[in-house]
Amino acid sequence: MTLFLTLLHAGLLVLIGANWWYLRLAKRASLANTRVPRLSVLIPARNEEENLKRLLPSLAAQDYPDLEVIVYDDASEDQTWDVIQRYGDGRVRGMRGNGPPEGWMGKPHALYRVTRQATGDRYLFLDADAELLRTDALRRLMALHEGMPQPGVMTGLPRLQGSGKLLVSLVPNAILVGLPWPLVRYIPLAALGAVNGQCWMLRADTYHELEPHHAAKGEILEDVMIGRYLKRNGVVPYLRDVQPELAVYMYRSFGDAWRGFRKNAYLILGGSPASFAVMFAVFGLTFVFTPLFGWWLLLSLYAFKVATDRISGFSWTLSLLTPISYTLGWVLQLDSAISHWLKRVSWKGRHVEQASLDSQA
């Protein structure tokens, strides 16, 4: 077992290094592109009044020449619609809905609806808790998209802000440890496709040819399923480092972070008791109990987290708490599984429930 874990950790360190180099090279090459086709920025919003006060001004400040922004108010129970109206202008407008129909999850339905009204040649999907960090951010995001091979979908690795970072820092860690991004375009496996739902962009004609939100209409984990669906249909996901351009304020407290990840973790680990049992055991062995098999494995565990924390801009203090982060993530997986089995998962005032993902992988 010790030899197996040593080889596994060595392989994961090589993978992180390859992904870091991939991000550096891709960004340097892509930002040379200067095309600015018409862009639609599409945003789902449910109870997002505070986040929109940060995002919408940052969109209004953009120097992008041919832009529309559509925000979908998904039956919010706060002042989301008032905020949209306050910041609305010739480029920013809102749509209102009464909640998703039967068979749809809220976010896929909201984004499907706004794509019925969008007029851009490119669609950029942003979460409402995002913020653009510079006035040329949309130009730079477009350059990253236009600089990649086509057909493709650009997905971003943003700067993650807010609370609950012991858990939140595991998001870029999973992105950079979980997929061999330099090989995604060459390996014809749908399971290697994923997009980060916080930020992704593709051509409007590609979107309407495949209608990915309709294909993932009942998915809680819609971004992962959309990435797999697009890759299955020949649209390759390309990860890009967008931290200088985009921040995302995921959660306001550790409790919010726990509840937010609770709805997803079980599904990420397969969404069925059998697949969860296997993945839960593998995660625990690889990231929680591995130091019991050798001190060098504790060092490599720190190396994983230090590397991904540096790539994604987290503090050294957070990196020092690496074993706590991984242990909390492992316990969260079990809590997520139990919550799904007991049908007790809710988010933003709505009960959410989904069957296994195994048949859709």
SS (H, E, C) 226-263: HHHHHHHCCCEEEEEECCCCEEEECCCCHHHHHHHHHH
Q: What is the mean pLDDT of residues 346-357?
A: 65
Strand partners, 351: 346
Which tens digit of pLDDT belongs to each residue from 276-318? 999 999 999 999 999 999 999 999 999 999 999 999 999 999 9
- The pLDDT tens digits for 138-155 are 999 999 999 999 899 999
pLDDT at position 231 is 96
Q: Give pLDDT tens digits for 221-264.
A: 999 999 999 999 999 999 999 999 999 999 999 999 999 999 99
**pLDDT tens-place string over residues 79-110:** 999 999 998 888 999 999 999 999 999 999 99
Which burial class, exposed, middle or buried, applies to 359 when counting CB atoms under 10 A from its CB (0-12, 13-18, 19+)? Answer: exposed
**What burial class does residue 308 get, using C-beta atoms within 10 Å of its C-beta: 0-12 exposed, 13-18 middle, 19+ buried?**
buried
Q: Give the number of other Cβ atoms within 10 Å of residue 38's Cβ.
A: 15
User: What's the longest Cα–Cα distance across the chain?
Assistant: 62
| Residue appearing with tokens 């950029």 | 124
Residue 123: which H helix or E strand, with range?
strand 122-126
Residue 354: per-residue pLDDT: 60
- CATH superfamily name and code, 30-159+195-249: Spore Coat Polysaccharide Biosynthesis Protein SpsA; Chain A (3.90.550.10)
Question: Are 4 and 32 a contacting pair, CB within 8 Å?
Answer: no
- Can you state the angle between helices 322-341 and 254-268, rounded to 10 degrees? 70
Cite the beta strand spans of 286-355 per DSSP E. Answer: 346-347, 350-351
Residues 9-34, mean pLDDT to the nearest whole number: 88
Residue 119: Cβ within 10 Å count: 10
- CATH 3.90.550.10 residue ranges in the chain? 30-159+195-249
Rounded to an integer, the average pLDDT of 62-77 is 96
DSSP 341-360: HTT--EETTEE-----SGGG
When pLDDT is cut at 50, 70 and 90, the band that residue 355 belongs to is very low
At 346, is the pLDDT very low, low, confident or very high (cuts 50, 70, 90)? confident
| Helix/strand/coil for 79 | coil
| Mean pLDDT of the 56-69 span | 96
Between CA 193 and CA 181, with CA 307 as vertex, the angle to 5 degrees is 20
d(CA 289, CA 305): 15
Answer whether residue 348 shows pLDDT above 80: no
What single DSSP character describes residue 62? -
Q: What confidence tens digit (pLDDT) does each residue in 154-185 have? A: 999 999 999 999 999 999 999 999 999 999 99
- Mean pLDDT over 327-331 rounds to 98
What is the secondary structure of 172-195 as a DSSP string? HHHHHHH--GGGTTTS--GGG---
For residue 321, the model assigns a pLDDT of 97
More confident residue, 127 or 194: 127
